[in-house]
């Protein structure tokens, strides 16, 4: 089928593209120096060990080179001295929406957050630039001993749990951006689920960037104790600015023996956001960590959720959907580190490249010496829509010793002319047929999302085909 007749596809990214003027009470100014870090520490009232941790992170950030020897040169477009590293209206989140200042509340209302909370969530945290404006957990869940607070409150109120795991899953020097996050982190969630508690409904965090030239650096730490279960969802949006915005989060998950964590992300940043995120979980014996990661927005996303399977029988899973439109680069993937016998991991990645979009899968699977019964399965499928679209796959798989089974498969395909023709014969327009085919490509993965999110996702991938068939 000739490339000229293929319709262009647009994705509805307009949902988050609005902003209200704000006056910030706390502003660390533009650029990053030790003074910026001291300002953040002072404002947040950090304990000394946190201040030291930040400074250590800053040192490592300066030390580490940009990883452009393997990653895209587009990273060099980030001008660190032009970024604002801390902006907030205050450090203590409100417990009810009524207390949230109107100018912030209207943003979240427009995004439908309070409504979703009433409908199907166990708790919500809503972050506006550097700090959470709202944080609440349903009474019944709180009574089970579940802690759901911001990272600042977590490190102050629950140091005995917090300190034990903070920076342990992802050391600050893991990469340049985890080091940057360690230096200036603010916001994000701290969650602890006590042994045996199965949190019925998901906890949700919503991240909103409102200010121009801003860098959001939330830090999330989730610990799910023995036999407990948790589903956590995060969403994110930002308005479209003229200049680049940076989002660089660190997310650490700890699943103790027999615990289950499901972490769901629907990323819909505007197309000027550099989204450089480090996410990793540790799964202890018989525990399960599952990342469901959907990247639709941003200019450049680099994100490779990982699972370190530390205990026997642990399971790790990454389900990844990426959609790259004009000018976008979704560089996503997974890391699976097998560190005990009989651990199993599964990676399923599907990407769609439209227009001049580029999707990249990068993966790492590591089975060290003297392990038995480890299994990994990796499947990457890429769909190219236009002749200028691009897709890459770069896996790295290391296996030592026998007694393990690892397989990787990847394929690249197009929507076939036959498929489109078949549907057109049955009365669908070419655009509707394309849309249906694209939805069919990701459908089996979308099914894995909780109902509410899969509806949201389908709407986001609702392809606007009007006037696009020439």
Partner 1 sequence: MSITTTLPAETGNSTNWPEWFSKDQNEAWELFQSLPQPKRNDEPWRFANLKSIDLSDFHVSVPVQDGASLITRSSAHTNLAAKLIFANEVLIHNDQAGLPAGVLLLPLEEAAKNHEKLFRKSFMTSDVRLGSKKFAALHQAHLRSGAFVYVPKGVVVERPIEIWHWVEGENATIFPHTLVVLEEGASATVIDHFMSSRDERSLAIAVNDLTVETNAKLHYVAVQEWSDKMTAFHINTTEVEKEGVSTALQMNLGGAYVRGESDSHLLGEGSRSVMLSINPATGNREIDQRTFQDHFAPRATSDLLYHNALADSSRTIFAGLIKVEEHAHETDAYQKVRNLMLSDEAEANSMPGLEILADNVRCSHGATSGELNEDELFYMMARGIAPKQAAQLIVRGFFGTVLERLENEELQAHLGEILDRKLNL
Which residues sit at the interface with partner 1, rule CB under 8 A?
1, 3, 69-70, 367, 369-370, 382, 384-414
Instruction: Return the number of the residue (230 or 385) whose C-beta is nearest partner 1.
Output: 385
Closest separation between CB of residue 63 and partner 1, Å? 14
Instruction: Return the number of the residue (55 or 408) whose C-beta is nearest partner 1.
Output: 408
Distance, CA of 448 to CA of 436 (rounded, Å): 19
Beta bridge partners of residue 317, listed in sequence order: 290, 346
Closest separation between CB of residue 283 and partner 1, Å? 22
Closest separation between CB of residue 376 and partner 1, Å? 9
Distance, CA of 318 to CA of 132 (rounded, Å): 28
Instruction: Return the number of the residue (414 or 439) whose C-beta is nearest partner 1.
Output: 414
Instruction: Return the number of the residue (199 or 382) whose C-beta is nearest partner 1.
Output: 382
- Phi-psi domain of 151 (left: phi exceeds 0; alpha: psi -120 through 50; beta: other): alpha
Pick from 464, 238, 206, 447: nearest CA to 350: 447
Q: Is 123:136 a contact under the CB 8 Å cutoff?
A: yes
Burial class (CB in 10 A: 0-12, 13-18, 19+), 338: buried
Instruction: Return the number of the residue (414 or 448) whose C-beta is nearest partner 1.
Output: 414
Pairing of strands 273-283, 300-303: parallel
DSSP-derived secondary structure for 82-117: G-B--EES-SS-BSSGGGS-HHHHHHHHHTTHHHHH
Closest separation between CB of residue 413 and partner 1, Å? 7
Closest separation between CB of residue 236 and partner 1, Å? 29
Distance, CA of 412 to CA of 305 (rounded, Å): 22
Closest separation between CB of residue 398 and partner 1, Å? 5
Instruction: Return the number of the residue (209 or 406) whose C-beta is nearest partner 1.
Output: 406
Closest separation between CB of residue 31 and partner 1, Å? 29
Q: Is 195:226 a contact under the CB 8 Å cutoff?
A: yes
Residues 6+ apart with CB under 8 A from 9: 325, 354, 355, 385, 434, 435, 438, 463, 464, 465, 468
Instruction: Return the number of the residue (43 or 415) whose C-beta is nearest partner 1.
Output: 415
């Amino acid at each position: 089928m000739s490339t000229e007749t293929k319709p262009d596809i647009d994705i509805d990214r307009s949902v988050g593209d609005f902003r209200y003027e704000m006056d910030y009470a706390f502003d660390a100014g533009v650029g990053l120096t030790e003074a910026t870090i001291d300002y953040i520490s002072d404002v947040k009232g950090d304990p000394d060990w946190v201040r030291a941790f930040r400074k250590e992170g800053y040192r490592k950030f300066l030390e580490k080179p940009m990883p452009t020897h393997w990653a895209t040169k587009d990273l060099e477009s980030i001008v660190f001295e032009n970024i604002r590293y801390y902006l907030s209206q205050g450090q203590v989140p409100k417990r009810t929406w009524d207390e949230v200042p109107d100018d912030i509340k209207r943003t979240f209302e427009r995004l439908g957050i309070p409504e979703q909370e009433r409908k199907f969530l166990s708790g919500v945290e809503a972050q506006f630039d550097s700090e959470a404006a709202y944080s609440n957990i349903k009474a019944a869940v709180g009574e089970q001993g579940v802690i759901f607070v911001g990272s600042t409150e977590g490190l102050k109120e629950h140091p005995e749990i917090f300190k034990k795991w903070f920076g342990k899953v992802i050391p600050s020097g893991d990469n340049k951006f985890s080091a940057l996050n360690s230096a200036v982190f603010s916001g994000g969630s701290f969650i602890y689920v006590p042994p045996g508690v199965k949190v019925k409904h998901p906890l949700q965090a919503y991240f909103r960037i409102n200010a121009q030239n801003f860098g959001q650096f939330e830090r999330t730490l989730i610990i799910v104790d023995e036999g407990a279960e948790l589903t956590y969802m995060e969403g994110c949006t930002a308005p479209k600015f003229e200049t680049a915005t940076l989002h660089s989060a660190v997310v650490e998950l700890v699943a103790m023996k027999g615990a289950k964590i499901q972490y769901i992300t629907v990323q819909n940043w505007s197309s000027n956001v550099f989204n450089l995120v480090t996410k990793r979980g540790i799964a202890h014996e018989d525990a399960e960590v599952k990342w469901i990661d959907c990247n639709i927005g941003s200019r450049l996303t680099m994100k490779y959720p990982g699972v370190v399977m530390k205990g026997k029988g642990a399971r790790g899973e990454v389900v990844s959907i990426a959609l790259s439109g004009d000018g976008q680069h979704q560089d996503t993937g997974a890391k699976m580190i097998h560190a005990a016998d009989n651990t199993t991991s599964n990676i399923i990645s599907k990407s769609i490249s439209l227009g001049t979009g580029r999707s990249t899968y990068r993966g790492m699977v590591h089975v060290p010496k003297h392990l038995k019964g480890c299994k990994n399965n990796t499947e990457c499928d890429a769909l190219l829509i236009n002749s200028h679209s691009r897709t890459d796959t770069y896996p790295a798989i290391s296996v030592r010793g026998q007694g393990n089974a690892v397989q990787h498969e990847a394929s690249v395909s197009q929507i076939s002319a036959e498929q489109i023709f078949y549907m057109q014969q049955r009365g669908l327009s070419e655009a509707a047929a394309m849309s249906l085919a694209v939805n069919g490509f990701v459908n089996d993965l979308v099914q894995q999302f909780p109902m509410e999110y899969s509806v949201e996702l389908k709407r986001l991938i609702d392809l606007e085909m009007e006037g696009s068939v020439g």
